[in-house]
Amino acid sequence: MNAGFRERQAYWLLIAPAFALMLFFYLLPLVQLLWISVTEPAPGLGNYKSVIASAPIRRIVWTTLRVCIETTGPTVILGYLIAYAMVHVNRGQFAWMMLCVMLSFWVSVLVRAFSWLVMLNTNGVVNTFLISTGLAAEPLSLAYNETGVVISIVHFMLPFAVLPIYANMAGIDKIYVAAARGLGASPWQAFWRVYFPLSAPGIVGASVLVFVFSLGFFVTPAIMGGGKVVMLAEYISVQIQDLLRWGLAATLAALLLIGVFAILAIMSRFIDLRMLFGAK
Amino acid sequence: MHEHQTFAEDVAELALEQYADKTIDRRTLVKALGMLGLAPVFFKSGAAFGQVKELVVVNWGGPAIKAYQNAFGKPFEKKTGIKIVIDGTGPGAGKVRAMVDAKNVTWDVLDAGVGTALLLGSKGYLEAIDYNIVDKSKVRPEFVYKWGISDYLFSFVLTYDGKKLGDRKPTSWKDFWNVKDFPGKRLLRKNPIGQLECALLGDGVPHDKVYPIDLDRALEKIREIKEHTVFWGSGSQSQQFFMQGEVVMGNLWHNRSNLLRRDTKDRIQWTWTDGIVASGVWSVVKNNPGGKDAAMKFIDFAIGDVDGQIALFKVMSSGPANPKATAMVPADMRAYDPSQPENYNKQVKFDAEWWGKNEIEAFERYRDVISS
């Protein structure tokens, strides 16, 4: 037995308690969940069949995917701009920008949803401003609909886009752009043909992260949607808490989980997931 | 966040807010919250329940639980030897099922919504109310069920912003659907209970023909008004929609309408006409740890506690379950009490039997209509 092997064994022992904890409190309930989905109300794949056959559930799945796509685009674009600025400012400015990004990270999702409500409702701050300045004649419908839900989720998800994109950009040597400029490229060409392709992994990573996180949004659509934007998480919660249809809820949760794993599996061919989730 | 707040949860939330505002004193708060789930149980003899050490009563109490445990639970314990433990988690259907399934029942008595009680009861998660111990003649016969018995009354009422609508006041649900003469956004509930009824009334169905609900017809009517409507989840949210000036008319719990009236100095009003009057219920969890009989005794006491019910009404507008208490409500407050005959008779009586049979289908289809 060589020393390297013993050392590795010791590392495994060190993580064993954490692993056991995960197994017991995370994986076991997950298996239970899958079990409920094939046993209640009757054994078999009945729940999966009825989910696929149900037009209302299809509509909810579509709403969920649509909101997530609508969210991911603006979040990643804004995140890219912020991250780009962050790698190009001086240390003092960078610290302030990082603080602002992290601050919004720490404010509860509930507080943020209500703040957006104050901003966006018919008589809210934004509409009052637009009307008093004559930019709009009628109040815009910004809250209690999908627009409000998307705005609110974009705001929530922004740090999840900024951080991976920033991590990627920080690793891009500025000398490449300088070299491109030196070889006669215009500023735009240097960015678009040299910098942007180098930052693409950050963009893809951020997109996956934002999309996957958005799939599970619950509080924001419930508050900002005015009852008209029902996403999967809210639907599952109603089935469990109010209608006691645990078989159906477990099936939907299982499908959501499988969907997320499938996305990650596909994306892992293109990007390093360990980097994305901060393991590296 | 619990998406579908029950009336009881809402009432508890309000009591705490009012206590914080100092509009009610601590004694009244303790008394009123007691009625929500902790009314004193004066057992004839502690010895008869010698085995019973404590009863856990679950309501939507919130953070002040500890304060009234000190003021209320302890004196009770001194009197009967039975400790009352107050759990403010809220008796959600999913939580009750989870504890019964796991054979780890820690709750005795629930202050539940009638829909919740019927659903849980039909699936075997509740003890049937033992009417040998619980004297059902203490409450209105309309609200006596197998799985629960009336603890207080509440109504779904047509509420409107008198200032925004000008001189013309809506008088029935037909006006609610009339966007030409009454322009402005509408407000309905995310949960179909109390909403399908108003849709049918708005479509011209008379009171005695509302049940059994014609689901297709009611949903068609909802679809018609949907684009002019937003939907509330919790009682505070329904109030907020009016306070923000987002809506001009809505279907609200009467306690919230009454608060809006008070806070806006009568600008926002409501009518009992065409209201839907329902009741919250006391229920007992299957295999409750304190024993079925002790829990039933508690319920029997609570529905007979006339003073407690009046105290509850004064603070939270919840209509007394016991008609004797209804008769003792002070004259100047009767206009706000759903249980007063002059208000009660203008309303449709909630049919729990229909909802017990059709809740899931109604829920699914209603949510589908409003979100697609």
Q: Cα–Cα distance between B366 and B361 in angstroms, integer?
A: 8
B248 shares a domain with B219: yes
**How much is the pLDDT for B49?**
46
**How much is the pLDDT for B311?**
73
Q: Which two three-digit tokens encode residue B316?
A: 């939270």
- What's the structural domain count of chain B? 2
Q: Which two three-digit tokens encode residue B156?
A: 């779904």
Please state the φ and ψ torsions of residue B188, each to the nearest 5 degrees: -125, 175
Chain Cα centroid distance, residue B238: 15
Predicted structure pTM score: 0.84
Residues 6+ apart with CB under 8 A from B157: B251, B252, B253, B254, B257, B270, B271, B272, B275
Please state the φ and ψ torsions of residue B250, each to the nearest 5 degrees: -160, 165
Provide the shortest C-alpha distance from residue B185 to chain A (in Å): 11
B258 shares a domain with B320: no
**How much is the pLDDT for B90?**
80
**How much is the pLDDT for B34?**
54
Residue B265 sits in a domain of what CATH number?
3.40.190.10
Interval A138-166 mean pLDDT: 93
For all residues of chain A together, what is the average pLDDT? 90
B323 shares a domain with B180: no
Q: Cα–Cα distance between B235 and B252 in angstroms, integer?
A: 8
Provide the shortest C-alpha distance from residue A57 to chain B (in Å): 9
Q: Do A227 and B231 touch (CB under 8 A)?
A: yes
Q: Do B363 and A237 touch (CB under 8 A)?
A: no
**How much is the pLDDT for B258?**
93
Residues of B with CB under 8 A from a CB of A: 1-4, 92-95, 97, 116, 119-120, 123, 185, 188, 190-191, 226, 230-233, 237, 244-246, 359-360, 363-365, 367-368, 370-372
CA distances, B284 to each of A251, B149, B319 (Å): 30, 10, 22
Chain Cα centroid distance, residue A150: 12
**How much is the pLDDT for B64?**
34
Q: Which amino acid is at A254?
A: A
Residue at B2 is within a domain: no
Torsion on CA atoms A201, A202, A204, A207, rounded to nearest 10: 170
- Where is average pLDDT lowest: A74-78, A102-106, A270-274, B140-144? A270-274
Q: A222 — contact with chain B (CB < 8 Å)? A: yes
Q: Cα–Cα distance between A41 and A30 in angstroms, integer?
A: 18
**How much is the pLDDT for B284?**
95
B309 shares a domain with B197: no
Interval A66-87 mean pLDDT: 97
Closest-CA residue of A relative to B226 is A228
CB burial readout A240-255, b (16+ within 10 A) else e: bbbbbbbbbbbbbbbb
B331 shares a domain with B255: no
Cis status of the peptide bond prior to B212, with omega within 30 of 0: yes
B309 shares a domain with B227: no
Q: How many CB atoms lie within 10 A of CB B257?
A: 28
Provide the shortest C-alpha distance from residue B360 to chain A (in Å): 7
Q: Which two three-digit tokens encode residue B169?
A: 């006041």
Mutation to test the B interface, candidates A242, A243, A245, A246, most B Cβ within 10 Å = A242
Of A55, A122, A226, the CB nearest to B245: A122
What string of pLDDT tens digits covers the 372 residues of chain B?
344 566 766 666 666 566 555 556 555 655 555 555 443 333 333 334 456 778 888 877 643 354 335 434 454 566 667 777 878 788 899 999 999 999 999 999 898 888 899 999 999 999 999 999 999 999 999 999 999 999 889 999 999 999 988 888 999 999 999 999 999 999 999 999 999 999 999 999 999 999 999 999 999 999 999 999 999 998 888 999 999 899 999 999 998 899 899 999 999 999 999 999 999 899 999 999 999 988 898 888 888 878 777 877 877 788 999 999 999 999 999 999 999 999 999 999 999 989 989 999 999 999 999 998
pLDDT tens track for A177-213? 999 999 999 999 999 999 999 999 899 999 999 999 9
Q: Which two three-digit tokens encode residue A124?
A: 């809210």
Provide the shortest C-alpha distance from residue A132 to chain B (in Å): 17
B142 shares a domain with B74: yes
Residues 6+ apart with CB under 8 A from B181: B168, B175
**How much is the pLDDT for B55?**
82
B358 shares a domain with B221: yes
Evaluate whether B242 touches B260 at the Cβ level (below 8 Å).
Answer: yes
| Domain carrying residue B285 | 7-153+278-339
Q: Where are the domains of chain A?
A: 1-39, 45-276
Q: Enumerate the β-bridge partners of residue B154.
A: B278
Q: Which residue has the tokens 């949960």?
A: B191
Q: In chain A, what percentage of residues exceed pLDDT 70?
A: 96
Q: Enumerate the β-bridge partners of residue B86.
A: B57
User: Is the alpha carbon torsion for B134, B135, B136, B139 positive or negative?
Assistant: negative
Q: Which CATH number is A45-276's, of 3.90.1490.10, 3.40.50.300, 1.10.3720.10, 2.60.40.1260?
A: 1.10.3720.10
**How much is the pLDDT for A255?**
94
- Residue A211: name the closest of A110, A77, A67 by CA: A67
Q: Any idea what the Cα angle at residue B143 is, between residues B130 and B58, rounded to 5°?
A: 65
Residues 6+ apart with CB under 8 A from B101: none
* Chain B residue numbers touching A228 (CB-CB < 8 A): 226, 230-231, 370-371
DSSP E strands in chain B: the ranges are 54-58, 83-87, 109-112, 126-127, 149-161, 186-189, 229-232, 249-253, 268-285, 319-320, 348-349
Chain Cα centroid distance, residue B84: 23
- Where is average pLDDT lowest: A20-34, A110-124, A261-275? A261-275
Q: Cα–Cα distance between B16 and B61 in angstroms, integer?
A: 8
**How much is the pLDDT for B254?**
95
Chain Cα centroid distance, residue A70: 12
Q: Cα–Cα distance between B156 and B274 in angstroms, integer?
A: 9
| B229-232 and B186-189 strand pairing | parallel
B357 shares a domain with B218: yes
Q: A244 — contact with chain B (CB < 8 Å)? A: yes
Q: How far apart are the first and last CA of chain A?
A: 29
- Where is average pLDDT lowest: A87-91, A103-107, B280-284? A103-107
Q: Do B360 and A241 touch (CB under 8 A)?
A: no
Highest averaged pLDDT of the listed ranges A50-59, A67-76, A198-207: A67-76
Q: What ipTM did this prediction achieve?
A: 0.84
